[in-house]
Amino acid sequence: MNFIERVISNYFLAWTQIFNYSDKTGRIPFWHFYFLDGLIGAFITFSSANTIMNTDPNNIYPVSSSFDWSYIYSLPSFLVLIALSIRRIRDIGKENLVFWIFCSFIPIYNLYLFSQPSSEN
């Protein structure tokens, strides 16, 4: 299995385990989902934004006439990310899950937290 197939496989594996909070997730499946989800979310956001095509310099506050499709994708994606984060924190070996989930929302620190190696326990 080449790299692209592994990334796509781990991405869809995370979506199939959206309500699984009891298992563990390794570093590689977590980061595969994290980066591919970010790329897909950015693509959907930029493709649904109508304000990019606004060329009228007199229109200071443009009103978007199209629906922002990124909301439909980002809400379930956030649920998958929460489940994946809980499973990743279990894999790291942290005890207090509620505390560490709140710590995972701190920018830059969350990158350090989720890049920790798996524990032996």
Is 101 a domain residue?
yes
Domain count, the chain: 1
What would the two tokens of residue 9 be?
């496989």
Expressed as residue numbers, the domain containing 100 is 3-51+64-114
pLDDT digits (tens, 9 = 90+) for 13-49: 999 999 999 999 999 999 999 999 999 998 988 877 6
Question: Is 13:87 a contact under the CB 8 Å cutoff?
Answer: no
Question: Is 121:93 a contact under the CB 8 Å cutoff?
Answer: yes
Is 45 a domain residue?
yes
Is 59 a domain residue?
no
Is 92 a domain residue?
yes
Is 120 a domain residue?
no
The pTM for the full model equals 0.81
Is 108 a domain residue?
yes
